[in-house]
Chain A
Amino acid sequence: MPKRRDILAIVLIVLPWTLLITVWHQSAIAPLLAIRKDEGGEGRREAGGQDSKEYCASDKDIVEVVRTEYVYTRPPPWSDVLPTIHIITPTYSRPVQKAELTRIANTFLHVPNLHWILIEDSQRRTPLVTSLLRETGLNYTHLNVETPKNFKVRGDTRDPRIPRGTMQRNLALRWLRETFKNNNSQPGIIYFADDDNSYSLELFEEMRSTRKVSVWPVAFVGGLRYESPKVNAAGKVYGWKAVFDPHRPFAIDMAGFAINLKLILAKPQAYFKLRGVKGGYQESSLLRELVTLNDLEPKAAHCPKVSSAFIDLSVQL
């Protein structure tokens, strides 16, 4: 009996140490040591206000130093490494047009490698928009196409049967296909941004890594606090958390996805459907021709706050 007790004691004492040594070899401790030797760790603190766009994990590192040196050149200098974000914005004349465009330009001036494609719903390019674009200093392309009167929204009521901005967005897609026909090597991301929305700067950095089509939650749409894709444990989209017709093939708002330029160039027939599109199906009419649900890349899931929300969502519904 004492012998067994002794043996038990020895086993109990030695066991944790053997576990520790085996875990040590297999765990991330070795690569952590490697990264610390890399100078990369130091520099993150110098990056200041610009860095918080890259990815959320660095927030805690840089909070105190953020205010020391903010740089005021606008827009930021062009980088050869970052993929270009092509922003497609249809716009039309109304009293608040200049205010909305000013506001959104102030946002875009923070984003490096941004190319703004602004398409007016008008017969001719208006001087208001022309001079506004020139004064911002942004890298832009100014196009225009007039929606024929029988397609235009009557008065100002939002009639969902007539999607607004469709012809303008299609023109932009066609322009991109013509401009980047032979130059397949330039990486680019396409995002449809309306002039009356609010965009956080992190969003643009999230979408830069899009391989085919990436998706994320959008607030204040479809009568909800936010609509979002439903993501399973494997990180794949399997449905949509939306109340307005959640069985749409892509129950997502125009501001909720971004497409890699290569995909647009590879499928030259994909456009937004102009006629006979039910309300809320416009986004699906394009995405259906480009990707399946399985190919979608959910973003905004790396940030600790939102990623836990994603887990909750998939459990709740």
Chain B
Amino acid sequence: MAARMKLKLKTVFVLYFMVSLMGLIYALMQLGQHCDCAEHDLPKDRAISRLQEELYRLQGQIRQLEKAKQPEKKQPPKSSLSTIFVITPTYARLVQKAELTRLSQTFLHVPQLHWILVEDSPRKTPLVSNFLMKSGLTYTHLNVPTAKERKLQEGDPSWLKPRGVEQRNEGLRWLREDRKTEPGDDGQQGVVYFADDDNTYSLQLFEEMRSTQRVSVWPVGLVGGMKFESPVVEGGKVVRFHTGWRPSRPFPMDMAGFAVSLRLVLANLDACFDGEAPMGFLESSLLKGLVTVDELEPKADNCTKVLVWHTRTEKPKMKREEALQVQGLGSDPAVEV
């Protein structure tokens, strides 16, 4: 009886082996074959391949157009355009993703732009990490939390404490570290611009700032309670500033109204923003260590055009959301807004 069982088991195993071998051979043969997939040829697949063909054709067209444009415009090849390093502090709030999305859509139009996004957070958040990955921009993602006593509390007016100081300084620190690894003149070429995530930037602004030798300045719209604030230019030099608030400041302008050449940033390793500076003196705390008013380079047609606006975004009204959340029926938090 036992022998018969053993025999049976052996045959079972042999059978098993044969079946799996045949199955494997069948599968391998299928790989090389042209199969009749008429019933599987879904309309979606057809649409996808049609769209992809269209995409290649368009990309080919774009490349041709680019080649045709270059000799006309005498545009220097991409590598010799100086890089614009944009340092943006950001913090988590409802409209963060919307603001960053809008900003990235502007930056995507600017060649040779390196975005340094610094989060006010002890850890890099997945929202910003994923967003940057998909943005298509050249970027550096940093983070540094603001000390509690320096942070604005819930009811505080926005002008009470300076914001983004640690983050901008961290951006500068990273930049200085990074440039150490790129010796040579090329690595020193560039412009540093401090761009907040809720302002509006025109594309022309970036082309104006690219030629900064030391510190360049231009008007900023809708800031300081005025239609615009601007340096006043006479004879190609800045003589004074048109501003409504505390014009006695060494540099009475907004963060969005100037850019510093990378060379200057690297030559003055200690220059950074002073968080203890009084209201409105934040920009001056950096610039006074770098340049004098006399050396400022006016851009935007001798400071007659407004190319950047200090827009602010209204905080969305969440009364109904809060009411729902009390009942446990709030919007699904898994959906990233």
Using a CB–CB cutoff of 8 Å, the interface residues on chain A facing chain B are: 2, 6, 9-10, 13-14, 17, 20-21, 24, 28, 30-31, 33-35, 37-38, 40, 43-44, 47-52, 54, 59, 63, 66-67, 70-74, 76-77, 79, 81-82, 95-96, 98-100, 102-103, 106-107, 109-110, 112, 198-201, 217, 219-220, 222-226, 241, 243-244, 305-306, 308-309, 312-313, 316-317
Contact = CB atoms under 8 A, between A and B. Distances in A.
B48 interface: yes
A34 B37 contact: yes
B173 to A, nearest CB: 24
Interface in B20-73: 20, 23, 27, 30-31, 34-35, 37, 40-42, 45, 48-52, 54-59, 61-63, 65-66, 69
Contacts of A109: 109
B111 interface: yes
How extensive is the interface on chain B, given as a class?
35 or more
Given A40-B52, A67-B136, A71-B62, A309 B318 contact: no
Nearest to A198: B98
B59 A71 contact: yes
A214 to B, nearest CB: 16
Given A38-B49, A309-B332, 14 more contacts: A2-B4, A6-B5, A20-B23, A40-B49, A47-B59, A59-B134, A70-B108, A77-B58, A98-B306, A100-B311, A106-B105, A223-B320, A312-B334, A313-B332
The 3 closest A-B pairs by CB, nearest first: A223-B320, A49-B136, A31-B40
A312 B332 contact: yes
A81 B50 contact: yes
B55 A51 contact: yes
A236 B101 CA distance: 29
Given A43-B52, A317-B329, A309 B45 contact: no
A50 B55 contact: yes
Contacts of B37: 30-31, 34
B70 to A, nearest CB: 11
Nearest to B20: A17
B336 interface: yes
A33 B30 contact: yes
Contacts of A33: 30-31, 35
Nearest to B110: A72
B232 to A, nearest CB: 21
A200 B98 CA distance: 8
B54 A198 contact: no
8 contacts: A38-B49, A67-B136, A96-B309, A98-B221, A102-B200, A223-B320, A223-B321, A225-B94
Interface in B283-337: 306, 309, 311, 316-321, 323-324, 329-332, 334-337
Contacts of B146: none
A187 B311 CA distance: 37
A107 B105 contact: yes
A70 B332 CA distance: 35
Contact of A106 (B19, B109, B321): B109
Given A6-B5, A63-B133, A308 B334 contact: yes
B106 interface: yes
Nearest to B328: A316
Contacts of B277: none
A223 B40 contact: no
Contact of B65 (A20, A66, A73, A222): A73
A225 B330 contact: yes
B23 A96 contact: no
Given A13-B12, A224-B331, A103 B61 contact: no
A68 to B, nearest CB: 10
B245 interface: no
Contacts of B121: none
A81 B39 CA distance: 26
